[in-house]
Structure 1
Amino acid sequence: MTPFNVIQEGDGPSRIVLSERTGSTAEVLLYGGQVVSWKNEKREEMLFMSNKDILKPSKAIRGGMPICFPQFSNLGSLEQHGFARTRLWSLDSSPSPLPPVNNQSTLDLLLKSTEEDLKTWSHRFELRLRISLSAGKLTLIPRVRNTDSKAFSFTFALRNYLSVSDISEVRVEGLETLDYFDNLLERERYTEQADAITFDGEIDRVYLGTPTKIAIIDHEKKRTFVLRKEGMPDAAVWNPWDKKAKALLDLGDEDYKTMLCVDSAAIETPIVLKPFEEWKGRQELSTVSSSYCSGQLDPRKVLYGFT
């Protein structure tokens, strides 16, 4: 069985479809190396995609799982969230030293620095991404190799646009008591006081030194996303709410109600690579059914009870 199918739609970018035996699928564009769909075995969509997004050259795609490299946000001299999400990636024919994956549908992608990129970010690199689909789980393994003769630093994030039933019925557990930068308040540093993060307005935060597991609980769907990550110690949480959604041209006015971004990230402390060194991260996103007692989900079961 081939691990994936490549679909070419007119003049648009190649769309690669991963599928596995239980019926779940994932769709990836070579444009941006971006996952734009992840459906479970019931054909339910797990990721949010804007209903106003139009694919244009040099424009980022609003939704799915964009890759933010070599900077997150607009804290550097580059375009917001870097340029990796607006470049055309290629299939990676030599993803070693990662071992082959058994019983999973897997895709390996590669982005190399171009002469055009070097004009704005003067560092040669190779950015590799392995995407693996298995029953109930989507795994992304990003790797950055310094192919330059001098060291460089970067920040990185896997932005996860999650599809939720109603943002007001969602809570995030695992980030309580942690410090965070609030991007709505000039990146001032605060400490999370709530037992869980809930949503009643715009939020744009970077939580620092986060655990390896975070739970995103959708009360209405009785479904929990479990985010596991390695090599990315921070977690960005974003929802634009109504006013910001109306100001974003590629987002529907009501789209904020059915989306939430919870990202795996390395932001506070940039990653430094010496010549020919490589950094590797890992993210596993899975879903489990939620059971409730007095409206509360046992966070210990969600955060620590699943292997």
Structure 2
Amino acid sequence: MSAARDPIEIIHSKSGAKCTIYPYGAHLTSYVTSSGEELLFLSRDAILDGSRPIRGGIPLCFPQFGQPDRSMPQHGFLRNNYWGEVRGSRVDCDEHAGISMELSLVDAINARGGAWGDDTKYDVRCTYAVKIYANRFETSIVIDNLGEEEFRFQVLLHNYFLVRDGTALNGEVCNVIGLGGYNVHDKVSGERRVLDAENFAVTVPKDRIIDREYAPPSGVIDLDLSISAGPSRNLSLKASGTVDGIPVPVSGVVWNPHRDNAKAMIDFGDDQYLDMICVEPGLLTDVPPLGGGKVASFTQIVTCL
């Protein structure tokens, strides 16, 4: 593996689609379709020197989402480390272009907290693959437990989508459909309820933050969402995951910090909450432990319709 720290640009020669990946966090910060449309939001105040996680794009969350273990960094340690490029992984063929990045726990810093400390009993390797097509991208993370001890984990792809024309608070053109029947946990109010309308559109409130986790109902495994990200920008998001080859239910998170929280973040433009919506698939609930010698995988496909 190489240890380069400069951003990597991948171009699909046939279509002209392109993306940018920072080795710090294996962080996809940009995906531009063949028609020149940027799909990902990156804060104008994002810090890109490796001193803190990058604000925008697609941060990687593992082995926790949020900070249930306060002794470990928020969202785990994948986004706080430099990843190496897997030798020979770059591809540029007729169908797609892509690259793979890799991080082993033994090489990670900030991997502290309980059993994930400096003297960890775990031996874990994470491999992250990005593929770009003319009008879609795919991101996949594979988690290899190379040791003998099983461990519990969460994994999530923290997508920041760019909303056209600053319309994130306009529910007619910025919304998420496909979460009907899901169990909602509002992390701000603490409220828990079930969305009962199949075509219910989740929107960003005009007056407050939205930070909600949506757990699938019984029998629903994969996540399949339609996202409106401003006028005439419609996206499809599909996500699936497995642990030891067995499909695991995929949850979703919708987040927008709104005005006051945006102002409180040093790496987020005060008014940029109008330009983004986070729609984040993840394995968050009912995730079985990953046994020694076993593999977990998680994949999303985002298509510009």
TM norm structure 1: 0.83
Q: Which residue of 1 aligns with 2:274?
A: 257
1:148 maps to 147
**What is the CA deviation profile of residues 100-131 of structure 1, one whole-angstrom value per residue up to 9, with x for unaligned ones?**
98721110110101265565312220000111
Aligned match for 1:81, one of 75, 78, 98: 75
> Is 1:242 paired with 2:267?
no
CA shift for structure 1 position 139: 0.4
Q: Which residue of 2 aligns with 1:215?
A: 226
Per the TM alignment, residue 158 of structure 1 is displaced from its structure 2 partner at its CA by 0.5
**Map of 1:47-66 to 2, 5 A cutoff?**
47-66=40-59
SS in 1 for 2:235: strand
Q: Tell me the equivalent position of 1:93.
A: 87
| Counterpart mapping for 1:1-307 below 5 A | 13-20=5-12, 21-76=14-69, 77-93=71-87, 103-114=95-106, 116=109, 119-120=112-113, 121=116, 122=120, 123-165=122-164, 166-167=167-168, 168=170, 169-186=173-190, 188-193=191-196, 195-200=200-205, 201-209=208-216, 211-220=222-231, 222-231=232-241, 233-288=250-305
The amino acid that maps onto 1:250 is: D
Deviation at 1:217, TM superposition (A): 1.3
Which consecutive unaligned segments of at least 5 residues does structure 1 have?
1-5, 289-307
Q: What number of residue pairs does the alignment pair up?
A: 273
Whole-angstrom distance in 2 between the partners of 1:158 and 1:134: 19
CA contact (8 A) 2:100 2:127 kept: yes
Could you tell me how far apart the structure 2 residues matched to 1:218 and 1:32 are? Answer: 25
* SS across alignment from 1:269: coil
Q: Secondary structure, in 3 states, of the residue corresponding to 1:59?
A: coil
Q: TM-score, normalised by structure 2?
A: 0.83
Given that residues 223 and 252 in structure 2 are in contact (C-alpha distance below 8 angstroms), is that contact kept between their aligned partners in structure 1?
no
Q: Following TM superposition, by how much is the alpha carbon of 1:180 offset from its aligned partner in structure 2, in angstroms?
A: 1.5
Tell me, in whole angstroms, the C-alpha distance in 2 between the residues paired with 1:29 and 1:18. 11
Deviations 1:168-210 (A, max 9, x none): 2301100123112111124x42212562112223110111126
Residue pair 2:251, 2:283 contacting (<8 A) in 1 also: yes
**Do the aligned partners of 1:229 and 1:282 also contact (CA within 8 Å) in 2?**
yes
Counterpart-to-counterpart distance in 2, 1:117 and 1:256: 29
State the AA in 1 paired with 2:101: L
Q: Is residue 85–residue 101 contact of structure 2 (8 Å, CA) maintained in 1?
A: yes
Q: 2:73–2:112: 8 Å Cα contact kept in structure 1?
A: no
**C-alpha root-mean-square deviation of aligned residues, in Å?**
2.3
Contact in 2 for aligned 1:118/1:124 (Cα 8 Å): no
> Distance between the aligned counterparts of 1:22 and 1:57, measured in 2?
31
In the alignment, is the contact (CA less than 8 A) between 1:155 and 1:271 conserved in 2?
A: no
Distance change (3 Å), C-alpha of 1:260 and 1:219: closer
The alignment partner of 2:274 has SS state of helix
Between the two proteins, what is the percent identity of the paired residues?
A: 27
Conserved 8 A contact 1:176-1:197? no
